[in-house]
């Protein structure tokens, strides 16, 4: 199994569910707060190891799923069980530092809820692997930074990262002729 397969499956699943979590966040803050959390258009599997997400400001918010590490886990039930470590990261843009800080925390909260409520990721079974568990480890934020400025507006960006683990059972070696 390749890390990209696992990240792609997770990104597809996130695309299908994130709108529900964002809607719940908006409903929670709607009566008293004007910060509306928008559903990301881009949820990609691009590598974030270098810390770069190349999306234009107008197209933010954007998320990316990345699987960075694979370790063997010794389990008696299955000889080919591995722990993959990675993250779901996001970037938002707003017209003030305060708004960017609010939005990034709300996006992180929506993604964290997705992770916590999809621990079994619907028990995906593929011909090559089965996701046994998917879980939240920690989160981190970057403070909002001024990205651009015109005479009338400012663009502040902020980011978050939710660290995750996947426990995966893979098919073992086979004989070939």
Confidence band, pLDDT 50/70/90 cuts, at residue 96: very high
Q: What is the distance between the alpha carbons of residues 107 and 123, in angstroms, rounded to a whole number?
A: 25
| Residue 71 or residue 172, greater confidence | 71
Q: Is residue 53 over pLDDT 50? A: yes
Q: For position 176, what pLDDT does the model report?
A: 45
Bigger pLDDT: 50 vs 86: 86
Spatial CA neighbour of 36 closest among 88, 82, 95 = 95
Q: Which residue has the higher pLDDT, 144 or 151?
A: 144
Could you read off the pLDDT of 112-142 as tens digits, one per residue? Answer: 999 999 987 656 666 677 888 899 999 999 9
pLDDT value of position 174 = 54
């Amino acid at each position: 199994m390749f890390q990209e397969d696992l990240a792609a499956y997770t990104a597809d699943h996130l695309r299908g569910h994130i709108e529900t979590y964002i809607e719940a966040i908006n409903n929670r803050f709607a009566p008293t707060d004007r910060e509306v959390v928008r559903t990301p258009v881009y949820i990609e599997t691009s590598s974030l190891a270098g810390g770069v997400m190349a999306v234009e400001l107008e197209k933010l918010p954007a998320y990316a799923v990345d699987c960075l590490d694979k370790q063997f886990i010794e389990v008696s039930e299955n000889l080919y069980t591995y722990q993959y470590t990675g993250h779901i990261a996001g970037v938002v843009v707003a017209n003030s530092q305060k708004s960017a800080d609010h939005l990034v925390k709300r996006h992180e909260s929506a993604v964290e809820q997705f992770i916590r409520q999809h621990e079994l990721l619907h028990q995906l079974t593929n011909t090559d692997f089965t996701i046994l568990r998917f879980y939240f480890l920690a989160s981190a934020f970057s403070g909002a930074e001024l990205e651009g400025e015109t005479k009338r507006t400012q663009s502040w960006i902020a980011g978050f990262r939710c660290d995750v683990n996947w426990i995966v059972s893979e098919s073992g070696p086979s004989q070939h002729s």
